[in-house]
């Protein structure tokens, strides 16, 4: 059974628009542990883990571009950072096929660290005058920890939305064949 690509593109578009609007309008107003959560890198990493490297990178680019336009900031800066996050999460899926329960937590923390540090570094390289102090490091660490806490529910929500539109993975189908009662090729001896 092959699912059409337009259904996946439509679901990704809806997720992207909703996450940017939610981040800009509501999440930035809620402060926990002295910082705000950042849903955008978590959603991009979740899409990369579920759909692969190319859809993750494309999704990261377009969500970053939409976020830059919504916040009226340097256009393309977030896109550059989020392309790397989506591609990296997708490559992790393609190379290692992670199945553990703590994978979304670790990938979410890494994606948030890459997003916050990468965006700060790019701002610094562009010459934006911003105070660099211990408070910046504390805020970055607090954001990473808060996002690590909420990474698993965000991954579950994105997975629930995308799963009907994702093509079936042949590696998982082959792996399931041996656990359903069929004989393993190794037990024929």
Greatest CA separation for the chain: 71
In the predicted structure, residue 89 carries a pLDDT above the cut 70? yes
Give me the sign of the Cα torsion angle 115, 118, 122, 124.
Answer: positive
Looking at residue 169, what is its pLDDT?
A: 61
Band (pLDDT 50/70/90 cuts) for residue 29 is confident
Looking at residue 2, what is its pLDDT?
A: 52
Band (pLDDT 50/70/90 cuts) for residue 1 is very low
In the predicted structure, residue 188 carries a pLDDT above the cut 60? no
Give the architecture-level CATH label for domain 5-165. Orthogonal Bundle (1.10)
CB atoms within 10 A of CB 83: 20
CA–CA dist 107, 43 (Å, integer): 11
Give the pTM: 0.83
Q: Which residue has the higher pLDDT, 187 or 47?
A: 47
Percent of the chain scoring above 70 in pLDDT? 85
In the predicted structure, residue 179 carries a pLDDT above the cut 60? no
**Mean pLDDT across the chain:** 84
Q: What is the per-residue pLDDT across 131-143, written as a single tens digit (0 to 9) for each? A: 667 777 888 899 9
Segment 13-19 shows an average pLDDT of 94
CA–CA dist 29, 1 (Å, integer): 44
Can you point out the beta strands (E) in 89-186? Answer: none
Q: How many CA atoms lie within 13 A of 130 on its CB side?
A: 15
CA–CA dist 166, 4 (Å, integer): 9
Q: What is the per-residue pLDDT across 100-130, written as a single tens digit (0 to 9) for each? A: 788 889 999 999 999 999 988 888 888 777 6
Burial class (CB in 10 A: 0-12, 13-18, 19+), 106: middle
Q: What is the per-residue pLDDT across 155-178, written as a single tens digit (0 to 9) for each? A: 999 999 998 888 776 555 444 445
Can you point out the beta strands (E) in 47-156? Answer: none
CB atoms within 10 A of CB 128: 12
CA–CA dist 63, 68 (Å, integer): 9
CB atoms within 10 A of CB 49: 23
In the predicted structure, residue 61 carries a pLDDT above the cut 90? yes
CA–CA dist 167, 170 (Å, integer): 9
């Amino acid at each position: 059974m092959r699912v059409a690509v337009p259904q996946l593109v439509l679901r990704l578009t809806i997720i992207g628009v909703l996450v940017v609007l939610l981040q800009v309008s509501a999440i930035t107003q809620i402060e926990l542990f002295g910082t705000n959560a950042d849903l955008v890198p978590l959603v991009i990493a979740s899409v990369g883990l579920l759909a692969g490297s190319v859809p993750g990178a494309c999704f990261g680019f377009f969500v970053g571009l939409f976020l830059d336009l919504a916040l009226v900031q340097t256009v393309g800066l977030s896109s550059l950072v989020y392309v790397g996050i989506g591609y990296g999460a997708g490559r992790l899926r393609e190379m290692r096929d992670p199945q553990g329960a703590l994978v979304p937590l670790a990938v979410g923390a890494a994606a948030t660290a890459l997003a916050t540090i990468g965006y700060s570094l790019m701002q610094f390289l562009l010459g934006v005058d911003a105070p660099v102090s211990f408070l910046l490091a504390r805020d970055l660490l607090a954001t990473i920890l808060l996002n690590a806490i909420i990474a698993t529910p965000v991954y579950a929500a994105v997975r629930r939305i995308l799963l009907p539109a994702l093509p079936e993975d042949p590696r998982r189908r082959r792996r399931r064949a041996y656990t359903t009662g069929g004989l393993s090729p190794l037990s024929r001896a």
